[in-house]
Amino acid sequence: MDAQEAAGLYTYRIRWSEPLLEYVIDCDEYTPHYVRHADAEYLLDYTRNTVRENTARNHEDGLPIHRPERPRQSADITRRCLERAMMLAAGHEPDDSRTDEFRPWEREVLGIAAGLGEEDWTMSRNMVELSDAKLKTRLDDTFIMLHAMLIAESAEALAQGDMGQAEALDRARLALGESYLGIGPHDRRKMIACTDRYLHLIARRALDLGFQPDVHIPPDEATAMRLLAADPRFRYAGLRRATRRRRPWAGPLADMPRGWMIRFGPELMDDMQQVIDLGLRGFGIDQVKEKWGGLRVLFDDDPIDWTTGLERPARWMDLAGLMRELLDLYETLSTCTCIRCGSQYRVRASAGRWIEPVCRRCAHARATGRRGAPPAKSEWKRMRPLDCGEPLAAWADGNHARLLGDGRLRGLHIRTLLEQCDREQAGYADTGNGTPQSHGPDETQDRTIGRKES
Ligand SMILES: [Zn+2]
pLDDT of residue 217: 65
pLDDT of residue 101: 79
Distance 61 CA to ligand 1 centre (A): 50
More confident call, 255 vs 37: 255
pLDDT of residue 38: 74
The answer, yes or no, to whether residue 454 has pLDDT greater than 80, is: no
- Per the CB < 8 A criterion, the answer to whether 348 and 425 are in contact is no
Distance 151 CA to ligand 1 centre (A): 12
Query: Among positive and negative, which fits the CA dihedral 332, 355, 268, 262?
Result: negative
pLDDT of residue 241: 87
Average pLDDT, the chain: 84
Distance 340 CA to ligand 1 centre (A): 5
More confident call, 306 vs 368: 306
Query: Among positive and negative, which fits the CA dihedral 136, 140, 145, 146?
Result: positive
**Reported confidence tier of residue 377, pLDDT bands at 50, 70, 90:** low
Distance 200 CA to ligand 1 centre (A): 21
pLDDT of residue 320: 97
Where are the extended beta strands (E) located within 293-372? 294-299, 304-305, 310-311, 347-349, 357-359
Selection from 56-70, 189-203, 321-335 with the highest mean pLDDT: 321-335
Share of the chain residues as helix, strand and coil, in percent rounded to the nearest 5: 55, 10, 40
Distance 138 CA to ligand 1 centre (A): 15
- In order of 377, 425, 443, the CA distances from 387 in angstroms are 20, 12, 12
The answer, yes or no, to whether residue 234 has pLDDT greater than 80, is: no
Distance 339 CA to ligand 1 centre (A): 7
Distance 365 CA to ligand 1 centre (A): 9
More confident call, 172 vs 326: 326
Distance 276 CA to ligand 1 centre (A): 32
The answer, yes or no, to whether residue 1 has pLDDT greater than 80, is: no
The answer, yes or no, to whether residue 120 has pLDDT greater than 80, is: no
Give the whole-number percent of the chain exceeding pLDDT 70. 86
Distance 332 CA to ligand 1 centre (A): 17
More confident call, 392 vs 203: 392
Strands 285-291 and 294-299 come out as antiparallel
Distance 177 CA to ligand 1 centre (A): 8
The answer, yes or no, to whether residue 437 has pLDDT greater than 60, is: no
Distance 183 CA to ligand 1 centre (A): 15
Give the up-direction half-sphere exposure of residue 292: CA atoms within 13 A in the CB hemisphere: 8
- For the chain, the residue count is 454
Distance 75 CA to ligand 1 centre (A): 37
What's the average model confidence in pLDDT over 11-28?
A: 84
Closest CA to 182 of 25, 438, 368: 368
Distance 225 CA to ligand 1 centre (A): 18
Distance 31 CA to ligand 1 centre (A): 37
Distance 322 CA to ligand 1 centre (A): 30
Distance 269 CA to ligand 1 centre (A): 22
Distance CA 1, CA 222 (A): 60
More confident call, 93 vs 287: 287
Closest CA to 417 of 348, 332, 356, 350: 332
The answer, yes or no, to whether residue 398 has pLDDT greater than 90, is: yes
Distance CA 178, CA 156 (A): 24
The answer, yes or no, to whether residue 369 has pLDDT greater than 60, is: no
pLDDT of residue 448: 35
* Weakest mean pLDDT among 95-104, 131-140, 431-440: 431-440
Distance 130 CA to ligand 1 centre (A): 24
What's the average model confidence in pLDDT over 289-293?
A: 90
pLDDT of residue 314: 95
* Weakest mean pLDDT among 87-96, 98-107, 133-142, 336-345: 87-96
Distance 14 CA to ligand 1 centre (A): 28
Distance 71 CA to ligand 1 centre (A): 44
pLDDT of residue 276: 97
Distance 397 CA to ligand 1 centre (A): 27
The DSSP H or E segment spanning 230 is: helix 221-230
Distance 430 CA to ligand 1 centre (A): 23
What's the average model confidence in pLDDT over 231-255?
A: 85
**Reported confidence tier of residue 446, pLDDT bands at 50, 70, 90:** very low
Distance CA 131, CA 208 (A): 34
Give the whole-number percent of the chain exceeding pLDDT 90. 41
- Per the CB < 8 A criterion, the answer to whether 2 and 21 are in contact is no
Distance 38 CA to ligand 1 centre (A): 17
Distance 357 CA to ligand 1 centre (A): 8
The answer, yes or no, to whether residue 395 has pLDDT greater than 50, is: yes
More confident call, 415 vs 441: 415
pLDDT digits (tens, 9 = 90+) for 420-433: 999 999 988 765 44
The answer, yes or no, to whether residue 329 has pLDDT greater than 90, is: yes
Distance 342 CA to ligand 1 centre (A): 6
Distance 88 CA to ligand 1 centre (A): 22
